[in-house]
Amino acid sequence: MYSFLARRLLATIPVLLVVAVLVFLLLRLTPGDPAAILAGDAASTEQIARIRASLGLDRPILVQFGIWFGNLLSGDLGESFYYKQRVTDLIGQRLEPTVSLAAFTILIAVLVSVPLGVAAAWRFGGWFDRMLMGFSVLGFSVPVFVLAYILIWFVSLKLGLLPVQGYQRLADGFWPYFRHLILPSVTLSVIYIALIARVTRASVLEALGEDYIRTARAKGLPELRVVVRHALANAAVPIVTVIGIGVALLIGGVVVTESVYAIPGLGRLTVDAVLARDFPTIQGVILFFSFVYVLVNLLVDLSYVFLDPRIRY
């Protein structure tokens, strides 16, 4: 097991390396001049050139990459062109909102979708099953921001139950923190619910077709126990897999949700950084997200060992 762990960890290194190179190339090959933006509206061309030099943008590409990568290895993601703060500090500041949003979303999604998927599989072909499949396709098809606007309009403006926008830090009190996160998490969880519910339904269905289920039923076990203890447990692997893969969807959704609800998280940071041609921040955030994605999938792989004893590495 430990040798597997070590091998898996080592396997992530080339992936992260590739990500680093891709991200660096992505930005350096594109037009758009961060120096002109920083200089402001009435700046002269000489002033802009001076700022370019001070940001190191006039050195050859390989040199720039070497410097950047070297810094990367020592944990230094550079300084934002735009905010004049260290990228690691910026990411640190924005971490709490995004992690909170993601955590609540996953929580809501799993709590809602797994029972839904199990129920649909249990009554396969019935009206509930068809409705779930129908709604899940709808969940994939409506863009996140449209859903957000509908929810804001209805829940916040018409009913006045929840705040319209913003984020309150946990340190300022649990209740405001929670209230501000409800709508964004619900909005974001819809697509996740659609995805997980389908996979849950499919794999529970598969599991229910197996022999051991017939045995369990023949033994006279209560149906709930059969479904949960036997079918769901054996269906866990694909469900957890899709949760892991769905993190990529989640990150995409986070970007839009933070934009609509004015949550100062990493998603907003990325969009603002792209619009400002803030290379170090864009690189830093993309690297960070990729790293998280790789980590999550690593954890998912490891969880297989606990979820399914048949899987050996």
The candidate with the shortest Cα–Cα distance to 263, out of 28, 125, 126, 99, is 99
Question: Residue 307, interface with another protein (CB under 8 A)?
Answer: no
147: helix, coil or strand? helix
**Minimum CB–partner distance for residue 94 and another protein (Å):** 8
Minimum CB–partner distance for residue 66 and another protein (Å) = 19
* CA atoms of 58 and 53, how far apart (whole Å): 6
In whole angstroms, how close is the CB of 274 to another protein at the nearest point? Answer: 4
88 scored as a contact of another protein (CB under 8 A): no
Give the one residue of 142, 170, 233, 299 binding another protein; rule: CB under 8 A. Answer: 142
Cα 215 versus chain centre, distance:
40
Given the complex with another protein, which of 115 and 166 has the nearer CB atom?
166
Asked if 114 interacts with another protein (CB under 8 A), we say: no
Contact 206, 269 (CB under 8 A): no
Restricting to residues 17-76, name those near another protein by CB under 8 A.
Answer: 17-19, 21-23, 26-27, 30-33, 36-45, 47-48, 50-51, 54
Distance from C-alpha of 297 to C-alpha of 290, rounded to nearest angstrom: 11
In the complex with another protein, which residue's Cβ is closer, 110 or 263?
Answer: 263
Among 64, 88, 135, 176, binds another protein (CB under 8 A): 176
11 is a site residue for another protein (CB under 8 A): yes
Q: In angstroms, rounded to a whole number, what is the distance separating the alpha carbons of residues 288 and 98?
A: 12
Chain center to CA of 268: 13
Asked whether position 293 contacts another protein by CB under 8 A, the answer is yes
- Asked if 131 is part of the footprint of another protein (rule: CB under 8 A), the reply reads no
Residue 25: which residues within 8 A CB-CB, separation 6 or more? none
The gap between the terminal CA atoms of the chain, to the nearest Å, is: 7
DSSP string, 291-309: HHHHHHHHHHHHHHHHH-T
Nearest to another protein of 50, 217 (CB atom): 50
In terms of CB distance, is 162 or 213 closer to another protein?
162
- What is the 8-class DSSP label of residue 77? -
Residue 220 beta carbon to another protein: minimum distance, rounded to whole angstroms: 27
The alpha-helical segments, DSSP class H, found in 29-86 are: 34-39, 45-54, 61-73
> Which residues from 258-277 bind another protein, rule CB under 8 A?
259-264, 268-272, 274-277
Interface stretch with another protein, choices 67-75, 79-87, 106-114, 219-227 (CB under 8 A):
79-87
Stretch that binds another protein, among 103-111, 112-120, 219-227, 244-252 (CB under 8 A): 244-252
Strand partners, 280: none
